[in-house]
Amino acid sequence: MKVRIKFAKLGAMKFIGHLDTMRYFQKAIRRADIPIAYSEGFSPHMIMSFAAPLGVGTTSSGEYFDMQLAQDMPTREIVERLNGTMAEGMDVLSAVRVEDGKASKAMSLVAAADYRVTFREGKEFTSDWKEKLKEYISQPQICVFKKTKRSEKTVDIKPYIYQFAIQGDKIHLQLAAASSNYTKPEQVMDGFAQWLGIEQKPFSYMVHRQEVYADNGNEENHQFVTLESLGEEVE
């Protein structure tokens, strides 16, 4: 049985990088005595895959990984067992059974993600940042520098900003997150600072990822559904 786990990474856990988070869950699964399946070969490893790596410094309440079990187990029990051995700040939110097979791999499904961005106290870019940000986002094109391993180029990220809203002091962004169009909230925010023509103070804002989605629609007509909703709880 293939199980998809949704977990939160809060507080100090934001300092744990992606690789260490993977190692953390491998150990947690062994502590919780979950009957996970192992690969063949001389040094067998747990069959699991993580969706959309999260950068150091970012918290999240919508992280996912899939794992293959060697024996079935009620999904509620999986959640309970894992939560019985979590460090403070790591919380397992749900477990659902998903279809087997390559096509349903958590990683390859990822199409979009929700983020909440907040400025640290006193580090707002400008006092009228709300109006300015609306103005910035409503441009027909939003060109930002994108550094890859090989090149530095300007890209238009406007098509990849699926949603934008300001609620109180919080900025909500829904951004593209497939491997071909992966857009980071930092690109939006840093592009905004550049557009304002200001030198931003280091660590001016905090990013929290809220959810990760698959796309049940198509390029023209997205139909985003959470990765969690693609599976079901089982007894």
Partner 1 sequence: MRKLALNDEILLEIESPARYIGGEVNSVMKDKAAVDIRFCMCFPDVYEIGMSHLGIQILYHLFNQREDVWCERVYSPWTDLDAIMRKENIPLFALESQEPVKNFDFLGITIQYEMCYTNILQILDLAQIPLRASQRGEEFPIVIGGGPCAYNPEPLAPFFDLFYIGEGETVYDQLLDTYKANRQAHGTKADFLRKAAQIPGIYVPSLYKETYNENGTLASFSPIEEGVPEKIQKQVVVDMTHSFYPKTLVVPFIKATQDRVTLEIQRGCIRGCRFCQAGMIYRPTREKDVERLKECARELILATGHEEISLTSLSSSDYSQLEELVNYLIDEFKSRGVNISLPSLRIDAFALDVMSKVQDIRKSSLTFAPEAGSQRLRDVINKGLTEETILQGARDAFLGGWNKVKLYFMLGLPTETEDDMKGIAHLAEKIAMEYYDTVPKEKRNGKVQITVSTSFFVPKPFTPFQWAAMYSKEDFLGKAKVVKEEIRAQLNQKSIRYNWHEADVTILEGFLARGDRKAADVIETAYRKGALYDAWSETFHWEIWMDAFKETGVDLDFYTLRERSTDELLPWDFIDAGVTKEFLKKEWKRAISEEMTPNCRMKCSGCGAGRYKGGVCVESKN
* Interface region with partner 1, contact rule CB under 8 A, candidates 20-28, 109-117, 164-172, 188-196: 20-28
Q: Which of 24, 164, 182, 195 binds partner 1 (CB under 8 A)?
A: 24
CA 120, 121, 127, 130 torsion: positive or negative? positive
Phi and psi dihedrals of 159, rounded to 5? -65, -15
Q: x/- binding map, residues 51-80, to partner 1, per CB under 8 A? A: -----xx-----------------------
Residues 101-130 that bind partner 1 (CB under 8 A): 120
Task: Say if residues 61 and 127 touch (Cβ distance below 8 Å).
Answer: no
Report the distance separating Cα 210 and Cα 8, nearest Å.
9
Cβ proximity to partner 1: between 149 and 203 the closer is: 203
Regarding 135 and contact with partner 1 (CB under 8 A), the answer is no
Q: Which of 83, 85, 94, 194 binds partner 1 (CB under 8 A)?
A: 85
Residue type, 165: A
Regarding 29 and contact with partner 1 (CB under 8 A), the answer is yes
> What minimum distance in Å lies between the beta carbon of 142 and partner 1?
26
Regarding 43 and contact with partner 1 (CB under 8 A), the answer is yes
Report the distance separating Cα 203 and Cα 183, nearest Å.
19
Regarding 45 and contact with partner 1 (CB under 8 A), the answer is yes
Q: Which DSSP letter does residue 87 get?
A: P
Q: Which of 3, 5, 8, 16 binds partner 1 (CB under 8 A)?
A: 16
Q: Which of 23, 76, 134, 170 binds partner 1 (CB under 8 A)?
A: 23
Cβ proximity to partner 1: between 44 and 74 the closer is: 44
Report the distance separating Cα 196 and Cα 205, nearest Å.
16
Task: Say if residues 164 and 111 touch (Cβ distance below 8 Å).
Answer: no
Query: 116 has which bridge partners?
Result: 172, 208
Cβ proximity to partner 1: between 49 and 216 the closer is: 49
Residue where the block lists tokens 């502590």: 31
For 18-22, the CB contacts below 8 A with 24+ separation are 18/50, 18/53, 18/54, 18/55, 21/50, 21/54, 21/63, 22/48, 22/50, 22/65
Report the distance separating Cα 203 and Cα 122, nearest Å.
11
Size of the site for partner 1 (CB under 8 A): 33
Q: Which of 1, 4, 9, 10 binds partner 1 (CB under 8 A)?
A: 10
Residues 188-207 that bind partner 1 (CB under 8 A): 202-203, 206
Which residues lie near partner 1 (CB under 8 A)?
10-12, 15-17, 20, 23-24, 26-31, 33, 38, 42-46, 56-57, 85-89, 120, 202-203, 206
